[in-house]
């Protein structure tokens, strides 16, 4: 590790320096967060204490060889980051909130937020780096929620959306000191100059996004570094330049999370020798100034074309009563009705990558169910017949190979593994057409397939 880094850590944690350094050589814990709207949380020996759906596994299985991993039944995520849940639970519960995840790829915290918000809330999940947007979009689609908009913009593009957001999460790009155990390249890229650069960039991001947070709204700021300049000092800078209130997050003693308090400002730090997780910092603040709400545009957006009446039966495909249906190209998309004006306001300022839930593609008068609909938590289970596949056939389906279906029923069938939907086939009797999306298919050759980690 770089000597400058070690010197700083020694002065930061003098009495725990040896334990800190030793812990970085230890193997990282394996943890994941279950999408409990799709899959019951399996019994395991250890849960992540600050996250209701977080669990530890004793060893790292091959997630690629688990069909339900590709269906958004869980998200593999290191445990400390799941503390976002405790911050989010401190925030007052208002109806129809608009939540922004500003630095969202690959989607760990966005999928977590979707599990925490109400169906009537909207998540705007943004990633500025273009090459990282498709993985974010894919992970969100697999998670199966319709109350989400994916955008790809620089933080400065949000400044016109004054007072729009009730909650903003800034999981900032940082010097990544907390990732040293998992990612050797984080060590190589570390330098004092880079940590300073990161701190300056974080302040610019915070200043750019600040106007779009409404008065009384909440900002969750997090990093995966120990550097005080990027953490406590940025919080202090925010408090010196804006009217804010720092919100305290209740901790339990056995969590071993450090609460750092300076002049009434609270931050929460995860140290790798004290918690079963990686290095992490989080702070929660309330904004006490600025616009109280955004005058969202009420005018109908020409791009949003209402669904033609002949497809009205599709309303029955979803169990959710809050959806409105739109046509985009040849697709029918469901989106929460109460957030249409917000979507209009967003589309006037931002580059929208996707919104809502693509339910079906239409060809003349025919409706072809979309893969994202198969994975949706709002899918009405009575509309399409389901067929359970064995492990090998499920993986062959996700490799987009030809499979045989053990059913006399013909036409559209939903295939599933362990009760979790995987996608659609069209059963023709002697063979079945495989509708798994080509771009998401498993590319590796199938070796001997191990049993999944759950029973």
Instruction: Please give the residues from 274 up to 303 whose contact with ligand SAM meets the rule CB under 6 A.
Output: none
- Whole-number Å distance between alpha carbons of 310 and 320: 20
Instruction: Please give the residues from 27 up to 86 whose contact with ligand SAM meets the rule CB under 6 A.
Output: 81
Contacting residue, 51, 79, 103, 377, with ligand SAM by CB under 6 A:
103
Helix/strand/coil (H, E, C) string of 392-454? HHHHHHHCCCCECCCCCCCEEEEEEECCEEEEEEEECCCCEEECCCHHHCCCCCCCCCCCCCC
- Whole-number Å distance between alpha carbons of 237 and 254: 31
Output the six-digit token pair for 215. Answer: 């008065």
Per the listing, tokens 């359970």 go with 388
| Residue 168: CB minimum distance to ligand SAM, A | 12
Residue placing its CB nearer to ligand SAM in the complex, 49 or 107? 107
For 304-315, letters b (16+ CB in 10 Å) and e give beebeeebeebb
Looking at 51, 103, 198, 224, which residue is catalytic? 224
- Interaction between residue 104 and ligand SAM (CB under 6 A): yes
Instruction: Please give the residues from 188 up to 247 whose contact with ligand SAM meets the rule CB under 6 A.
Output: 201, 205
Q: Which stretch binds ligand SAM (CB under 6 A): 123-131, 244-252, 336-344, 441-449?
A: 123-131
Contact of 293 with 255, CB cutoff 8 Å: no
What secondary structure letter does DSSP report for 318? B
Phi and psi (nearest 5°) for 57?
A: -110, 150
Contacting residue, 155, 272, 279, 423, with ligand SAM by CB under 6 A:
155
Contacting residue, 49, 54, 72, 106, with ligand SAM by CB under 6 A:
106
Contacting residue, 108, 272, 421, 452, with ligand SAM by CB under 6 A:
108
Instruction: Identify the three-state secondary structure at position 216.
Output: strand
| Residue 84: CB minimum distance to ligand SAM, A | 8
Q: Which stretch binds ligand SAM (CB under 6 A): 97-105, 188-196, 303-311, 427-435?
A: 97-105
Contact of 332 with 359, CB cutoff 8 Å: yes
Residue placing its CB nearer to ligand SAM in the complex, 49 or 155? 155
Contacting residue, 107, 144, 277, 336, with ligand SAM by CB under 6 A:
107
| Residue 374: CB minimum distance to ligand SAM, A | 24
- Whole-number Å distance between alpha carbons of 4 and 2: 5
Contacting residue, 61, 96, 173, 216, with ligand SAM by CB under 6 A:
173
Find the helix or strand (DSSP H, E) in which 10 lies. Answer: helix 3-12
Contacting residue, 33, 70, 109, 294, with ligand SAM by CB under 6 A:
109
- Whole-number Å distance between alpha carbons of 99 and 122: 6
Contact of 274 with 258, CB cutoff 8 Å: yes
* Cα 215 from chain centroid (whole Å): 25
Q: Which stretch binds ligand SAM (CB under 6 A): 102-110, 115-123, 229-237, 360-368?
A: 102-110
- Whole-number Å distance between alpha carbons of 133 and 351: 11
Quick note: the x/- pattern for ligand SAM over 131-150, rule CB under 6 A, is: -x------------------
- Interaction between residue 129 and ligand SAM (CB under 6 A): yes
- Whole-number Å distance between alpha carbons of 166 and 152: 20
User: Is there a catalytic annotation at residue 224?
Assistant: yes
Per the listing, tokens 């009446």 go with 309
| Residue 415: CB minimum distance to ligand SAM, A | 29
Q: Hey, which residues are catalytic here?
A: 224
Binding site for ligand SAM (CB under 6 A): 81, 103-109, 127-129, 132, 155, 171, 173, 201, 205
């Amino acid at each position: 590790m770089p000597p400058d880094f070690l010197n700083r850590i020694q002065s930061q944690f003098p009495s725990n320096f040896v334990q800190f350094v030793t812990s970085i050589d230890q193997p990282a814990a394996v943890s994941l967060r279950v999408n409990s709207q799709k899959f019951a949380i399996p019994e395991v020996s250890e849960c992540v204490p600050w996250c209701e759906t977080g669990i530890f596994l004793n060893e790292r299985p091959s997630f690629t060889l688990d069909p339900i991993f590709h269906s958004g039944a869980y998200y593999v995520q290191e445990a400390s980051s799941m503390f976002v849940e405790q911050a989010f639970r401190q925030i007052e519960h208002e109806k129809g909130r608009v939540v922004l995840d500003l630095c969202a790829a690959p989607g760990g915290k966005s999928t977590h937020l979707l599990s925490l918000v109400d169906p009537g809330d909207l998540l705007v999940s943004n990633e500025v780096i273009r090459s990282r947007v498709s993985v974010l979009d894919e992970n969100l689609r697999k998670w199966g929620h319709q109350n989400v908009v994916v955008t790809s913009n620089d933080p400065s593009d949000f400044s016109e959306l004054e007072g729009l957001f009730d909650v903003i999460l800034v999981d900032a790009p940082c010097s990544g000191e907390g990732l040293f155990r998992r990612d050797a390249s984080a060590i190589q890229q570390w330098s004092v100059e880079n940590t300073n650069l990161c701190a300056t960039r974080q302040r610019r991001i915070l200043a750019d996004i600040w106007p779009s947070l409404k008065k009384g709204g909440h900002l969750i700021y997090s990093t995966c570094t120990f550097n005080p300049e990027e953490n406590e000092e940025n919080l202090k800078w925010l408090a010196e330049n804006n009217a804010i209130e720092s919100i305290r997050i209740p901790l339990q003693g056995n969590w071993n999370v450090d609460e750092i308090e300076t002049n009434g400002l609270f931050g929460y730090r995860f140290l790798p020798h004290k918690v079963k997780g990686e290095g992490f910092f989080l702070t929660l603040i309330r904004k006490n100034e600025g616009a109280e709400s955004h005058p969202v545009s009420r005018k109908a957006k020409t791009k949003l074309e209402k669904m033609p009446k002949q497809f009205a039966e599709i309303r029955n495909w979803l169990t959710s009563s809050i959806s409105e249906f739109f046509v985009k190209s040849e697709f029918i998309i469901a989106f929460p009705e109460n957030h249409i004006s917000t979507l209009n306001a967003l589309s006037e300022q931002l580059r929208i990558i996707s919104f809502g839930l693509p339910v079906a593609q239409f060809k003349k008068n025919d409706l072809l169910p979309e893969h994202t609909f198969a994975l949706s938590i709002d899918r009405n289970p009575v509309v399409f017949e389901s067929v359970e596949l064995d492990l090998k056939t499920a993986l062959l389906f996700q490799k987009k190979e030809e499979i045989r279906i053990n059913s006399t029923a013909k036409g559209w069938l939903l295939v599933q593994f362990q009760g979790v939907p995987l996608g659609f086939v069209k059963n023709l009797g002697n063979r079945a057409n495989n509708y798994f999306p080509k771009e998401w298919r498993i590319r590796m050759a199938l070796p001997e397939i191990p049993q999944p980690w759950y029973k």
